[in-house]
Structure 1
Amino acid sequence: MKKSVPFARRFKQVVSGALIALAASTVMVPVASAEEKDSFKLAWSIYAGWIPWKYIDESGLMKKWADKYGIEVEIVQINDYIESINQYSAGQFDGVVATSMDALSIPAAGGVDTTALIVGDYSNGNDGIVMKGSSDLKDLKGEQVNLVELSVSHYLLARALDSVGMTESDVTVVNTSDADMVAAFNTPEVKNVVTWNPLLDEVLTMPGANRVFDSSQIPGHIKDLTIVNTQTLKDNPALGKALVGAWFELMAEMGTDSEAGQKARAALGEASGTDQAGYEAQLAGMKMFWQPADALTFIRSAEAVEAMDSVRQFSFEKGLLGEGADSADFVGISLPNDKALGDTGNIKLRFDTEYMQMAADGAL
């Protein structure tokens, strides 16, 4: 297996996402300017759950579905994950890939009404806490923990500590770039890290390393989404149909051992700096929704509501909802089955199942 390169998901999030989004809002295209059009742009960054957009683009699947609805969709790779969300927030893209936490804390908190069009997967072991010389999470008390501050790693730590009756005040968080994480853990001074794959697998190969908590213990909390501007989607339903149609056509192939599925996984492994086996190892740490019905079942569940509530509470506690937020209710989140979290008069993040339902019904 080739050595994989660090995926660009969830990095450079050391500054409050809401502040970044607010800065971007000074050049933001007003929502009211959205209108019917026939050309769109989607931004993506490298992570196992998002790189399928590259294959969708290069295989011709996107063109096939765009042609069906008489539109054009340009799929653009952005190497800096947070910057891609900033550019989306500023109106330079109609859609982007993001975790649910970043979708809330950057565009939604910045005032950009955003729809989660595709719920692609959730981390199911790809994010974890590793301790050197101990396998007991409680031994973190009084210790330093290295992680990318204000990222989903920070969130994972908070949930892990809560599971053993501890809080962040019981540890000292040391902000560490993902690029430096493996090297840091290889020094005697750094004993505890929180990171994501492929870095997670690398640190676990080191002597004395123990995985003490991972995202499989909080299923559904770290979700990977394809999000789009709500007004743009409302004015251009063809965009939603084309994106969802192309995505789930590929998923139906990728989730099988067919020749087409293996070809796609091999191509995506090479594109992400590894090989087919390396890419499949990444997929193993995720709960992929190969079929739209599976995504629908999850996002309509009580567990999905609880997970999103936990994420918004953490985001508020860390100041990610902006200086004007006086509670976690500041930004409203709409969920399926007429459920909502927060201020229903300020809904800025919407989990809209209309298009995934169309895919499940074979109606695209």
Structure 2
Amino acid sequence: MMRLIGTACKILACAGAIMLASCSKAPDPQTEARTEFNIGWSIYAGWMPWPYAQQAGIVKKWADKYGIKINVVQVNDYVESINQYTAGKFDGVTVTNMDALTIPAAGGKDTSAIIVGDYSNGNDGILLKGANALADIKGRQVYLVELSVSHYLLARGLEKAGLKPTDVKTINTSDADIVSAFGSPDARAAVAWNPQLSVMKGQTGVTEVFNSSQIPGEILDLMVVDTATLKANPNLGKALAGIWYETVALMQRQDSKGKEARAAMAKLAGTTPESFDSQLSTTYLYTDPKAAVAATSDPALLKTMMQVRDFSFKKGLFQGASSADAVGMAFPGAKTLGDPGHVMLRFDESFMKMAAEGKL
């Protein structure tokens, strides 16, 4: 699961957010009607339907239906994929809810989350050596990717255990190095995501004391699109919704077609079918568009995003902002969170609703 936050890049983006909040914007060349679009993605179990759909011709099928062309482009570095989207190279990108807020939205790019694809249901976890309760983390150094969903998971775990952030000391560790770092005898606590998490759990004396299934729906994986581009080209949103729901329906099938689809996704992810299925087991996919619409319209989402933005603000990810309200968010039912005059992240359920009603 490549879902970390690039600290330096985020600081630049957030600094830009404050400038953009107080300055008039230049005309956006992406707002006119177009026929070709680029969508970025990176490897994660819940996002593998996108490259598979391109390989299987499902992307072309839905793009042709709406008279457009969609290029689904892999970026090996997750943060880079979001930075490229924020810079305008991509019209849409796969991203977590936290990163959608703290990179493009905080950077002044009006962004719409049009597909709530899944939530981490155990793909992210807190590990301890020589202990079996989260309370035992007190006083330990915790290895993790700082300012990432791992950091957010740690904060939520500490909160539930009645502990404070100051009860631990975090050690910033890249996702590429965390497995080997945790292998050191001196490393006694860590937070990680799959596939690294599953490898680390296999070490002797290691216990998973908290995971994302205990905060269901808080670490969301999304497809987001530039709002101005979407407004000028609604057929892009329709095609993306059609692609997503056809593909996830296929991958859920237990017959040979479904097995072949999952095996192909595993290969695209560089893993085995068994490992991929294991990662899917801790990924709650919204395969039914009605369920995705319900989750997006649920007041619980606003509460989740309040927790996410408050965490992000406290960690300095809205650098220069005097309040967590600096970056506004919009939700179904005309609900807003933060500055209603500076809404930069919108949860738009309309295309998922079209899919649910068979109107695509």
Q: Deviations over 1:212-254 (max 9, x none)?
A: 0000011111000010000000000110011110111111111
Q: Does 2:7 correspond to 1:11?
A: no
Indicate if the aligned counterparts of 1:270 and 1:276 stay in contact, CA closer than 8 A: yes
Change (3 A) 1:16 1:322: farther
Q: How does 1:266-285 map to 2 (within 5 A)?
A: 266-285=263-282
Aligned with 1:154 (options 151, 155, 168): 151
Q: TM-score, normalised by structure 2?
A: 0.95
Normalised by the length of structure 1, the TM-score is 0.94
Q: Is the 8 A contact 1:145 1:192 kept in 2?
A: yes
Please state how far the C-alpha of 1:20 moved relative to its aligned partner: 3.6
Partner of 1:226: 223
Other structure's SS at 1:326 match: coil
1:135 partner letter? N
C-alpha separation between the residues in 2 aligned to 1:351 and 1:190? 39
Residue 173, structure 1, aligned to residue 173, structure 2: no
**C-alpha displacement at 1:199, in angstroms?**
0.8
**Distance in 2 of aligned mates of 1:16 and 1:319:** 13
| 1:69 pairs with 2:62 | no
* Aligned position for 1:139: 136
Alpha-carbon shift at residue 21 of structure 1 (Å):
6.0
The whole-number CA distance in structure 2 between the counterparts of 1:256 and 1:303 is: 30
Distance apart, 1:328 and its partner CA: 1.1
SS at match of 1:251: helix
Match of 1:337 among 333, 338, 347: 333
* 1:347 aligns to 2:340 (yes or no): no
Aligned to 1:239: 236
CA distance in 1, matches of 2:355, 2:257: 20
Q: 1:340 to 1:263 in 2, by over 3 A?
A: same
Distance 2:187 2:333 in 1: 46
**1:101 counterpart = 2:86:** no
Whole-angstrom CA distance in 1 between matches of 2:260 and 2:26: 40
Give CA deviations for 1:311-338 in whole Å, capped at 9, x if unaligned: 0111111111232x11111111111122
Distance 1:266 1:141 in 2: 42
Counterpart selection for 2:249 from 238, 247, 252: 252
Question: What letter is aligned with 1:346?
Answer: H
Aligned residues: 355
- Spell out, residue by residue over 1:40-97, the C-alpha distance to the aligned partner (whole angstroms, 9 max, x if none): 0000011111121110111110100000000011110001111111111111110011
Q: Tell me which of 311, 317, 338 is aligned to 1:314.
A: 311
Q: CA RMSD in A?
A: 1.7
8 Å contact 1:18–1:105 — kept in the other structure?
no
Deviations 1:135-186 (A, max 9, x none): 1211111110000000000000000001111111111000011111111111
Deviation at 1:345, TM superposition (A): 0.8
Alpha-carbon spacing, 1:300–1:17, altered in 2? closer, same or farther (3 Å): same
Other-structure match for 2:197: 200
Percent of aligned pairs with the same residue?
Answer: 51
Q: Report what 1:3 is aligned to.
A: none
Tell me the secondary structure at the aligned position of residue 146 of structure 1. strand
Task: Give yes or no for contact 2:15–2:318 (8 Å, CA) kept in 1.
Answer: no
Distance 1:36 1:295, change over 3 A: same
CA apart distance, 1:11:
3.1
In structure 2, give the amino acid aligned to 1:13: G
SS of 2:267 mapped into structure 1:
helix
Contact 1:29/1:91, CA 8 A, preserved across alignment: no
Secondary structure of the residue that 1:290 maps to in structure 2? coil
Q: Is the 8 A contact 1:18 1:110 kept in 2?
A: no
Q: 2:278 and 2:161 mapped to 1: Cα distance?
A: 29
Counterpart CA distance in 2 for 1:110 and 1:245 is 29
Q: 1:179 aligns to what SS in structure 2?
A: coil
Change (3 A) 1:223 1:76: same
* Aligned equivalents of 2:284, 2:65: Cα separation in 1: 30
Distance 1:291 1:17 in 2: 33
Give structure 1 stretches of 5+ with no counterpart: 1-6
Shift of 1:18: 4.6
- Cα-to-partner distance string for 1:294-319 (whole Å, 9 max, x where unaligned): 11111111222211111011111111
Aligned to 1:4: none
Checking the alignment, whether the CA contact within 8 Å between 1:161 and 1:167 is kept in structure 2 is yes
User: Structure 1 residue runs of 4+, over 4 Å off?
Assistant: 21-26
Which of 111, 116, 125 is residue 114 of structure 1 equivalent to?
A: 111
Of 42, 66, 70, which residue of structure 2 is paired with 1:45?
42
Q: Give the AA of the match of 1:168.
A: P
Residues 266/134 of structure 1: CA separation in 2 closer, same or farther (3 Å cut): same
Alpha-carbon separation, structure 2, partners of 1:22 and 1:94: 22
Provide the C-alpha distance between the structure 1 equivalents of 2:268 and 2:276, rounded to a whole number of angstroms: 10
Three-state SS of the structure 1 residue aligned to 2:156 is helix
